[in-house]
Amino acid sequence: MAKGLVVILTGASSVGKGKIRDLLLADEDLKLFFSISETTRPRKENEVDGKDYYFVSYKQFAESVKNKELLEYTEFNGYYYGTPKAQVDFLVSKGKNVLIEVEAQGVGPIKLNIPDSVAFFVMPASEEELERQITERYKDDEASVARRLNKAKMEMELAPLFRNVVTNEDGEAAYKQIKEVILTVLENRKNR
């Protein structure tokens, strides 16, 4: 059985990765399974443990790091997030294609573990548009707006390191551009 493909989706904070992710996961041509992250962040009211995230204690997260059970991990706003390695390995070994959504700095460790993975960096239509989106989404918390704007600017500096950079002027168009690349990679793998 052929191994599945790992697709990594990253980009600037609040750039609209969620909409693109949802379109990719809903596309039956791609047959993507979502890699659920582990986090120490408290569960929000509408979130489901094991569907949105695996909600764990700081101690459990530290154990995952110590035991090298995460492909990558990061911290933001005092909470930790990571990609469980066993889940991805299991799906890929069963021939399933896996979508991992991570912070930009998490792509390197994943690529080291899974060199044939395909990464996409999503850029905003403009810095002004990104600033508007962040300000609108976090309008009640000026400190959060400032942190997220700084984070997004630092993340965008990593874009030149990516082979696949997609500008998100329109979520549907960005999704189609990513889909085209994924289908090409899958076709090339079949012909090897």
pLDDT in tens, 60-111: 999 999 999 999 999 988 999 999 999 999 999 999 999 999 988 899 999 9
pLDDT digits (tens, 9 = 90+) for 97-117: 999 999 888 999 999 999 999
The angle formed by the CA atoms of residues 133, 134 and 137, to the nearest 5 degrees, is 85
Residue 142 has pLDDT above 90, yes or no: no
Measuring CA to CA, which residue among 11, 34, 14, 13 is closest to residue 22? 34
User: Residue 69 has what pLDDT?
Assistant: 97
**How high is the pLDDT of residue 82?**
96
| 79-84 and 70-76 beta bridge pairing | antiparallel
Supply the pTM of this predicted model: 0.89
Please choose, from the candidates 154, 168, 162, 39, the residue with its C-alpha nearest in 3D space to the C-alpha of residue 111.
Answer: 162
Kindly tell me if the per-residue pLDDT of 177 is higher than 90: yes
Fold of 6-190: Rossmann fold (3.40.50)
- Here the tokens at position 47 are 């979130």
The mean pLDDT value for 19-23 works out to 95
- The predicted pLDDT at position 136 comes to 80
Among residues of the chain, what percentage have pLDDT more than 90? 67
